[in-house]
Structure 1
Amino acid sequence: MLSDEISALLSDSERSLSEVATRVIASLSDPDEQAFYVACDVLFMLEELHRSDLANDKSIAGIRLIAKVVNGEYLLYKLYEQYGLIDMNPFLAHFVDVYNQRKIRENVSNTSSRLYNVQASIVSLFLSGETATIRLLTAAQFAEHADSMARDVDMSRFVDALVNQGVLDPPESHPSSIESRELKSQSHTNDIVKRLLASSVTEEISETDAESLISILESDLSLLTSSVDLSVNGITSMLHVNPVLGRSLIALLLSTILRTDVLQLLQYLPPTLPVLEALNHLLIPPPSGEQHVAASLIRDEEKSALLHPFLSNATRSIESKTVGKDFENVIDDAHGQTRHVQLLCLFIQSLLRTGAIMLEEYIYEIQALTISFVYVPEARELFQTVQGILQQHASGGPAPQSTPQRTRVQVL
């Protein structure tokens, strides 16, 4: 039986679903030991609520009832979120059953029917892998928009998982069953990968799901090349929403037949912070003795072909105030423009400081940037460095071997 504290938390319609679940888990003295027992109590509570007198109550108690259903279902999901895919959740059978029963509305009150709808809507999001869209909503907010947020789910994809959990009996074996199961399993995996890749450009992917995704794609690069959205919008959005995943996918793409296409695409990415961080990871050599797959994939001649157009495009986009168009607000004030100039200058300084590039090779692109925005301190510093180089070349002096360092470079 649920404690009074947990029951009160699950009745809260004002806190976000994520906060309620976090508070419930924090209330457990030993979450690893108690999670399953609490989840079973929650499951019993959900089953009893539909038979409760509260089901016909439209007052505050009715709102608390809806909150218990929404928060309770979310807690069942959250307790096992660390396992990644929903297939690993021990309460998958419950979610599937709730979804399958969503159309049974005979001989129930309007309030109870509403409960079924709300309950089916939230489990449809679990089953479709879209929980990131609701974690900051309160139970009341979710209930208000439950109908529009409901998803259609192909339930056949969970048959194998339910067989593995012992909920369903395995199909009768026949000569082709092993091969058939393998093909079905592979198709199921491909569907999951494509779904995660598609959603990664609009919603945050959990660390566990991201690691599983990378592991699968590393073993089957053809699946990556056939599924990823290889466009400026797609790659930029992924870097903004899932930066670590985006950088890993770019590294993998550079080891595929799409290498040339990826390098050309990178030239046109907007100079926003997530993009500059990704390029920084690709271009800066790894520390001595440390392997770095992404850095090792960019050859010196490729750096030149990438950075010359990227720096020119970046400067023009900042001048025209179109940085981040379609991904974040277009620059609409002087402060925003100055901030993007600073980021680009710090990016260049980071490359110079680590020896990833030589200033002489990019002097014209850097000069164009710094002259346009000489009023920005970081740009003015680069401008002075460029002027020193030009004066030394004009006088026949030796080229400097290093450039000034700024601690602010470390933000990248």
Structure 2
Amino acid sequence: MKANKQPPNVSRVSLWDGFVAGQEILKAINQLPEVEKAALAGSLRRGTPTIGDIDIVIQASKAANQQLLDKLQHLEQVASVIDSGRTWITMMLRNQIKVDICIVEQQQYGAAMLYFTGPVAHNSALQSCARQKGWKLNECGLFDLRTDSYLPAGTEEDIYNQLGLQYIAPELRETIDSITLTSPYQSPSLISFSQIKGDMRIKSKWGKGEAAIPHIAHYALNAFPHYQYIIIADQLPDSTSDQYLRQWDEIDEVNRQLKNNFIKKGIETAIGNHGSLSVKNELLLSFDWVTATIQEETTGDNTEKLIKACECPYVHCIGHTSSQIYNAGSPPRINWDQLFKKAAATHTAIEINAQPNCLELDDALVYNAVQQGVHLVINTAATALSQFDLMQLGVWIARRGGCTKQNILNSRSWQEIEQFKLNKRLVCQQTPAT
């Protein structure tokens, strides 16, 4: 794919906006009869927080190239063509996101996916490994320099294997340097979306959500058949037991109709000054899952109040570590090392909030949390049914932080989560608060 002319006024967009646009154009491309297969590459595939453009690799026969190029520029999503060649095209979509498309033959597909996924430093390290073996690696394939012949490497995994390396997931390729790459390295089996068993913080019409509990349940079961549970976690205007009892009655009725204890009873309780909670312990202990969040705007240090919340035996998860919107100003100070140590010691989970404007836990913090033994929960905090899809964004953050299934609590069965809760209560009751 050629280094194309950059159109004016192209700015980076969020990963989620890029993913939605990428999926839309990819779906249209895959419907073209000339396309044998196609996939997203570039920074979008690596799950970077923002992307500059959408990279797509298409596998097609050489004879179909021109016909395919003609059809690509007339797709409904395309506003204009910026530049093109025999095997590539750069276009501007109607949503003002640039897309670079490369067309390759079957034997080139693995190398092209590797090359155009990047990043450049990782590609350079792989190319160096190839040269040490007397080979050449580029976007067209893996070649023996002595014979200029293809080495069997139709997939990315084949290329890593030929180089004597373990396959590295795209999300980790920015953090694996050339030294690590050429030394014995065991790439973790990263968490996948299909391994998530439930969303543990959903808002309903009882609180700030748009959908009623029956609609939420039916949508989740149909759209995410691998989910085993969801947690309705509202913060009701009047935090009394009577109000929550009425909500629980509705949850029980929906579960009876479903013949499945699919919906769990959760709550989002606010963390106030000195770590005090907006709901009393006597009520918290009746919930299936309790998430504590900071909700008041603050520019001070939140560490002490978050640590105090971890010490409550009935708080299972810390959600918002601040009420600040991501990148909207200076966030409050948090000593993450202290918080992670306390969370690990008290068996308190920390939330990866998948809302695009609430990404308080980035991949670097996720990595540090995992290193200290913290259990993480990926939640959407959805207020609308359409936001359930944001789980994928949270999974990306977890993968870039090196998370496996073992690190993500909501990849476990509800029975295992009950055991986690029991361990939490026992530890907190045996350990004096600070």
How does the TM-score come out when normalised to structure 1?
Answer: 0.23
Which structure ranks higher in relative contact order (CA pairs < 8 Å, sequence separation ≥ 6)?
2
Higher relative helix content: 1
The structure whose Rg is larger is 1
